[in-house]
Amino acid sequence: MTVTSTDTTVALDPNRNVPGAPRPGFAHTLRAEWIKFWTVRSTMWATVMLFVLGAGLTVLICATNAEWLASGEADEHPGSFITFGMTFAQITAIVLGTLAVTSEYGTGMIRATLAATPRRGSVLAAKALVLTATLFVAGVVTAVAGYLGGNWFLEREGIGMALSDDGVLRSMVGSGLYMAGLGLLAAAVGLLVRHTAAALSAVLALVFVVGNMVFLLPGAWGEWAGKLMPGNAGSGIAAPVSFNPQLLDPWIGFAVFAAEVATLLAVAWAVFRRRDA
């Protein structure tokens, strides 16, 4: 009887598959993360606000400045305004990226997630893929909508920009890339601190405050520190013409930004693997 009991225990070893229940694959994990991501109200509201801020403010700024830009008195290129609203849409991308991770820690659902999918690398990869796909599509759609609406006012003044003009199409795609990158940056910080308010404060301060303050440092140190800050390095790809000529070239800057995000994600993954839920 003892041997039979032992054999039964070995047969039900949790490290082995339960008979008739296949081991969850990455597709199952991805589907679970997609469902979790889109069944909370914050995802829909953040996505809507990204569109409203990004497209709405671009149209508004183009409508109110088109005549001035066409007057010859302006010292700015119309391309500086064609994706203007994406500057403020950054906030919602950061919020969405943070909540994609910290909301589970706040409710304790992360324990159920890791119990269902012990492979933490798969969980993190699925979260990153869902977040990246959402923000990339939302960013591109928002940028195109803002361009179409804002450019209508510019064309009325004879200063409209075609998609084939230098940097315009790149800025449409680049807006999606930059939003996705910001979301991943925020998710990585959220994974490290596991607290919504702390993660939001850290990323917003890094992108909007520290990124501008470092330019005040003296000499070449301040100039290069400013260029390499994540928000400054990555944002250039989302505008046909940058407001700040000191920034890196768009694709070079985005490569620096992508490397920074990848490094932070790697650190977050290493901590995620070793830390208790």
d(CA 168, CA 150): 13
Tell me the CA distances in angstroms from 179 to 57, 98, 231, one per residue in order: 16, 13, 11
Per the domain annotation, does 112 fall within a domain?
A: yes
Contact 131, 187 (CB under 8 A): yes
Give the model's pLDDT for residue 162: 92
Structure tokens at 198: 């702390």
Asked if residue 9 belongs to a domain, the reply is no
Inside any domain, residue 10: no
The reply to whether 18 falls in a domain is no
Query: Are residues 183 and 132 in contact, defined by beta-carbon separation less than 8 angstroms?
Result: yes
Q: Does residue 1 sit within a domain? A: no
Q: How many domains does the chain have?
A: 1
**Closest to 260 (Cα-Cα) out of 179, 199, 171, 181:** 181
Check if the beta carbon of residue 165 is closer than 8 Å to that of residue 241. no
Distance of CA 126 to the CA centre of its chain: 15
Token readout for 211 is 């990124």
The two structure tokens encoding residue 252 = 């070079």
pLDDT of residue 9: 46
By the 8 A CB rule, do 256 and 185 touch? no
Please tell me the predicted confidence (pLDDT) of residue 221. Answer: 83
DSSP 8-state code for residue 21: -
Helix axes 120-156, 109-116, angle to 10 degrees: 120
> Does any domain span residue 21?
no
Contact 165, 174 (CB under 8 A): no
Rounded CA-CA distance 66/78 in Å is 8
Q: What is the dihedral of CA 191, 193, 195, 200, to 10 degrees?
A: -90
Q: Is residue 19 part of a domain?
A: no
Please check whether residue 28 lies inside any domain of the structure.
Answer: no
Nearest to 50 by CA among 140, 133, 129: 140
CA–CA separation, 255 and 67 (whole Å): 36
Q: Which domain holds residue 112?
A: 41-274
Per-residue pLDDT of the chain (277 residues; tens, 9 = 90+): 444 444 444 444 444 545 555 666 889 899 999 999 998 888 999 999 999 999 999 999 999 998 888 887 777 888 889 999 999 999 999 999 999 999 998 888 888 888 888 888 899 999 999 999 999 999 999 999 999 999 999 999 889 999 999 999 999 999 999 999 999 999 999 999 999 999 999 999 999 999 888 888 888 888 888 899 999 999 999 999 887 778 899 999 999 999 999 999 999 999 998 887 6
